[in-house]
Structure 1
Amino acid sequence: MGNCKSSSRALRGKAHVVPDSEWRMQDFGKTHVPDLEWKINDFSSLLETGAKSAASAAFHCSGYNWYLKVNPVRKETGSETPYVALSLMTSRASMMPGHTVHVVFELSIYNHSKGMYCGCKATYNFHFKNTYSKEHCLIPLQELLKSPAFLVNDSCVFGVEILKIDVSSPEKKAFVVQKKATTVQNLFVQKKGFVKGTYTWNIDNFLELDLDHFVCSPTFEVGGHKWYVQMYPRGDKHSTDCLSLYLRLDASDELHLESKKVIVMTLSILDQKNGKHLTATSGLLVFTGGHGWGWADFLGLKKLKDPSGGYVVGSSCIMKADLTIFGSSIDG
């Protein structure tokens, strides 16, 4: 289960439009063999959604689940020029407390004119509380949109190759990255006909809940599929003194899915006194049956319990989920 709260930080450097000779990319040649090849079809539709990011479905490498994330409108500090930026994510469920996973990897975009990937090499220390790498700007968005080398039939191909993994842990485990066949994923974003749904979860006995475990809402249907909200009143193992909140696609839907669903979700806790609702909105995320995305640190417990805040009135707490299905993700 992933956490979609971004922890990316602005890259420091010159804040000006750079010519292609200064793009943040190098030709990788034939040595770059991606662990994930991710084709985004209908790239213009992705931009039209207004989503600040899109994440791939999971791919597996050396015992960890990984995701590739693209931010098509990344702006560096002091600059108004949007860049297409990539970052690497891992699943918190893959990480062990006390372990730091140092990863060397290459982020790339396919150059059809040259017949090779171009990109940048990066390193990052992943751990239990930090599962998102920095975002790395590759190419100005406007340059990508007018380039037949990178954008073909409104589609572009991104990649990531994990070169090395070192684990610092009490056991001092070492991993050798075993090369295997490239995972291929296709993301399809619809131009119209989006399916939207809203569900309000009224919890009348919030103070009587078993606070040491999670609580699930009744299932609700959006787009012909069953969804539910999962809440940890005292936070899950990934949180720090916060209520944790997730949206899940019901596991029973797995057998009925022809493709994975790509959605944008907004989760909220309603302020019943002041109307100052607390909300969090994701980028484009891929959901499969039984899988969830959300926020481990959704709302601090101190703020949740503050009687002036209106999040818990008497024993009443109201959660809300809004989701829009924008497309699908297909393997291969």
Structure 2
Amino acid sequence: MTSHRCLRQELSQQHLTLFTALGITGTWKCPPQKKRHLEVKPMHKKAGSSTPYVALRLVAFRPSLVPGHMVHPVFELSIYNHSRRMYCGCKASYNFGFKNIFSKEHCLIPLQELLKSSAFLVDDSCVFGVEILKIDVSSPEKKAVVVQKKPTTVQNLFVQKKGFVKGTYTWNMNNFLELDLDHFVRSPTFEVGGHKWYIRMYPRGNKYSTDCLSLYLYLDVSDELHLKSKKVVVMTLSILDQKNGKHLTGTSGLLVFTGGRSWGWANFLGLKKLKDPSEGYVVGSSCVVKADLTIVGSSNDC
């Protein structure tokens, strides 16, 4: 079947400002702006090279994608040069699909050059941006796909160098095999840093996974403190190996949480391993999940 394509200019920009960025070596992700978010990797290395680069990539917001549709944006990834008062970067394009949401990483500047620069790093902060130039949407149906224009958005991230707030929560499920495994299960709400959090697990995976258990951390939508500022968090989610002590863990870079928003992994643990008694992830009817959170800063929109 011939696909129908609708091409339309989109004047959409997103800017990410990182304050007190020195010493942070993880990955920064700002929350999705409707259909995409910008990811910053300050320690990315090219194939065959040991030199760390500051790299950017565009990530599609998976719930906004429709199975069978392909989204082909042309965009510019950039870093702001305060001396020249202009953005410097590169033009790129990518084909996004329902299970293909990450563009390639594009290296902008060597990390050491950035840290020594007075043009890109001012008052211990730097600014990154992405501008969507146009979007081409492929649909298997013969109908137009409308791409709405979006305003410019600015995301400020304030990252502390010390005084981090840390917390750990262990979720003991003693009736794991008795749960409705075809749907998600939710942990009791717990508090870290005065905020309410919970874990959501899809024992047989969600619609984005492939034969894997899915695991996510949520900032509770009832948490009123998130209205003042979003939280910048580093998280580790683990399923404990109760026999061998070889726990399965996933650790994030820097993530921005707002009420009702989640971050996690669709393909956290293969179902074959989960069901294997020798792996120790389910013993009898017991499954233990652990969350380690470190709140390292805050964020707001301008």
Query: Normalised by the size of structure 1, how large is the TM-score?
Result: 0.85
Q: Does residue 139 in structure 1 map to residue 117 in structure 2? A: no
SS in 2 for 1:302: helix
In structure 2, relative to structure 1, the CA distance for the partners of 1:176 and 1:145 (3 Å cut) is farther
1:180, CA displacement in angstroms?
4.4
1:56 maps to 2:52: no
- The SS at the match of 2:155 is strand
Segment of structure 1 superposing worse, 68-77 or 179-188:
179-188
For 1:314 and 1:236, the matched residues in 2 are separated by 24
Per-residue displacement from partner, 1:38-73 (whole Å, max 9, x unpaired)?
Answer: 1111121xxx2442x10112223xxxx211011011
SS in 2 for 1:304: helix
CA distance in 2, matches of 1:124, 1:151: 29
CA contact (8 A) 2:15 2:154 kept: yes
Q: CA RMSD in A?
A: 1.6
Partner Cα separation in structure 2 for residue 67 and residue 155 of structure 1: 20
Q: Please state how far the C-alpha of 1:256 moved relative to its aligned partner.
A: 5.2
Instruction: Give SS of 1:296's match.
Output: strand
Question: Which residue number corresponds to residue 127 of structure 2?
Answer: 157
Going from structure 1 to structure 2, the CA distance change for 1:96 and 1:235 (only over 3 Å counts) comes to: same
Structure 2: runs of 5 or more not aligned:
1-10
Change beyond 3 A, Cα 1:181–1:99:
closer
1:294, 1:301 → 2: CA distance?
Answer: 17
Counterpart among 205, 208, 214 of residue 235 in structure 1: 205
Q: Does 1:319 align with 2:297?
A: no
Compute the displacement of 1:254 (Å): 4.2
Structure 1 residue ranges (4+ consecutive) displaced by more than 3 angstroms after TM superposition: 172-181, 254-257
Alignment of 1:1-332 (within 5 A): 35-44=13-22, 48-51=23-26, 53-60=27-34, 65-172=35-142, 174=144, 179-254=149-224, 257-332=227-302
Which amino acid counterpart does residue 19 of structure 2 have in structure 1? N
Q: Which amino acid aligns with 1:39?
A: T
- Using the size of structure 2 for normalisation, the TM-score is 0.93
Q: Matches of 2:271 and 2:89 in 1, distance apart?
A: 42
3-state SS of paired residue (2:223) = helix
Contact 2:12 2:133 in 1 (8 A): no
Describe the shift of the 1:191–1:254 C-alpha distance in structure 2 as closer, same or farther (beyond 3 A): same
Q: Distance in 2 between matches of 1:143 and 1:111?
A: 13
Q: 1:268 and 1:173, CA in 2 relative to 1: closer, same or farther beyond 3 A?
A: farther
- State the distance in 1 between where 2:92 and 2:279 align: 43
Seq. identity, %: 75
Cα distance in 2 for partners of 1:288, 1:256 equals 6
C-alpha distance in 1 between matches for 2:12 and 2:160? 26
